[in-house]
Amino acid sequence: MKKIVLFMSLCLLATVGSAQVIFYVQAPSPNEGNYDFSFADYLAADWSVPDMNDPINSVLSEMVLIDDGTDLDNPTACAPAINDLTGKIAVVYRGSCEFGSKALACQNAGAIGCIIINNLGGSPVAMGGGADGATVTIPVVMITNIDGALLRDEIDGGATEVFIGSKNGLYANDIGFTAADHFRAQSFGNLSQLSQDASEFEMEVGTWIRNYGSNDQTNVTLNVTVGVEGSEIYNETSDPVGIIPSGDSVFVSLPLFSQASYADGYYHVDYEVEADATDESDYDNTGTADFVMGDDVFSMSALDEATSIPVNNTNQFNGTTDNLYSCLFFQDPNASRVGVQGMNFSAGTSQNPDPTSLDGQLFEIYIYEWMDEWVDLNDPGFALATLNDVADAEYIYTDNLQSENVYVPFEEPMLLEDDQKYLFCVQMYGTDIYPGYDTKTDYNWNLETYAMPTSPVYVSGSWFAIGYGTDRNPSLSIKMFDASEVSLVELTNTDLIAFPNPANSIVHVPMNIVDGNIAMTIVDVTGKVIDTQNVTMTNNRLDVDVTAFAAGMYVINLAFADGTTGSVNVMVTK
């Protein structure tokens, strides 16, 4: 295996989280409430926007659609506004030009804020200022395409007000917390082989509770429940906190969550805070810190409860590098109990100003042994400098699977070693290729407490130990297997081909054997088993009927009677 030496930076790549900054549609709108958003970062070198964490920079006004003299249905503000936006919060659509240019067009027309409606699915993205951002002095936010469509009639009516800014002091009675405040399991997808009892898996329970209101709050309590497969297995409530002064916060902890043994399943972890006074903005009085226990998936990203596929809320803007590694850190004292078969990942491409396809794009996956000696991020000797490539594979898209999860097996399954540090990485090429990320799971308080890396990223020629931030977790999962089953997976592989490929009915796989028994397993790009068969060969060609399969990529895995294996990728079209 090749050995590579790379350089790292402890600096965190800048991202923007909403924290106590809110985007709130005011009453009497039928769509009153808080909405998911991102906002331009005042600390970024390419913006001169105000610090939205400071209540003095909050804005409240009517939302008005910009008229740039082009597309009246989806104006992008890539040309100067021809309508007067004085004192209003301007609304534009993403596309065709830089975010800073859109915001400047709004500002020049008199707007006190700029809302950009995303033209892609998923969460709002971090926004770069580009060439004009340094002259923008108004708040700039992005909302989702779904929320933009929901609010569009009200925007056209021009009578609905929106508040953008810090909620500190906005209400008299207002306690709450953010996803960054909670303890949670140290990974979302956990392996049952490495979590056999309380000594091997436990979760600290607690959160920061913040008083955003202008009144002091009394008798504040925290309740946390944990349930799995419909059964509640933990329910604890804190003693009342006598008083939390206005603008202050307190950390409340509860007994450790641990079990004598852990059932496989999706664990719902629910946080809830209450006080004597009725909360006037209670959307942030509840939160979750869910996790999954199972025998074959490791992930930092949230996993879909039904499919265990990593959640992709957004394709993280790249735009700065032709060579990006998105990685997961893994280390366990009992890692030799498991091995690795492959990885799941998702990605997207730039759609502005013209769509770029994933079809034909090359991605590579790696397992690296992280050889530097360190204890945690606070270790003076911490380094991300020496990585040994111990397993790899490649994947070339044969369709434009935007934001869809794909599964790539390694050329050979690999057993892990106890306490060895590993990076599981997907490498992608090109400034228009954006890795998929989960933006809802935040490991901020875990990082503050344990000081361990989670999702390092290599971008613009440097390693960043905390990646894009604790609330940006790559939509990656690692397909594991029990080391005791190594005899089932550690077999000599036979090279196979299939034709026609793509196919829509019958796929032919030529063989070098005339007869014998074959165990066939067909999986889709997520690793889900679609079909299993025991086939008796009667000639030197295996015929596989894929007529009933949905369009997509599949892997046909074959185990032969002599102990060898083989696999071949097949694209099914309709």
Confidence of residue 63 (pLDDT cuts 50, 70, 90): very high
In 420-502, the DSSP E strands lie at 422-429, 433-438, 457-459, 462-464, 473-474, 477-482, 493-495
Give percent of the chain above pLDDT 70: 92
Secondary structure of 447-462 as H, E, C letters? HHHHCCCCCCEEECCE
| Average pLDDT value over all residues in the chain | 88
| Chain segment 178-201, per-residue pLDDT in tens | 999 999 999 999 999 999 999 999
Confidence of residue 10 (pLDDT cuts 50, 70, 90): very low
Ordered by where they begin, the domains of the chain are 21-166 (3.50.30.30), 175-294 (2.60.40.10), 297-484 (2.60.120), 491-572 (2.60.40.1930)
Contact 219, 275 (CB under 8 A): yes
Q: What is the rounded average pLDDT of the residues 468-493?
A: 77
Instruction: Tell me if the pTM is above 0.85.
Output: no
Between 4 and 544, name the one with better pLDDT: 544
Q: Can you tell me which residue has the tokens 């290729």?
A: 433
Confidence of residue 509 (pLDDT cuts 50, 70, 90): confident
Confidence of residue 253 (pLDDT cuts 50, 70, 90): very high
End-to-end CA distance of the chain: 41
User: What whole-number distance in Å separates Cα of residue 359 and Cα of residue 401?
Assistant: 8
Q: Cα dihedral sign for 125, 187, 420, 564?
A: negative
Q: Which two tokens stand for residue 315?
A: 């394709």
Q: Which two tokens stand for residue 515?
A: 């007869």
Q: Characterize the bridge pairing of strands 89-93 and 59-65.
A: parallel
Q: Which two tokens stand for residue 39?
A: 């906002």
pLDDT at position 27: 85
Between 498 and 353, name the one with better pLDDT: 498
Q: What is the rounded average pLDDT of the residues 169-173?
A: 92
Interior CA angle at 76 toward 72 and 80, to 5°?
A: 90
| Chain segment 88-136, per-residue pLDDT in tens | 999 999 988 999 999 999 999 999 999 999 988 777 888 989 999 999 9
Nearest CA among 446, 448, 339 for reference residue 390 = 339
User: What whole-number distance in Å separates Cα of residue 195 and Cα of residue 259?
Assistant: 10
Q: What is the rounded average pLDDT of the residues 249-259?
A: 97
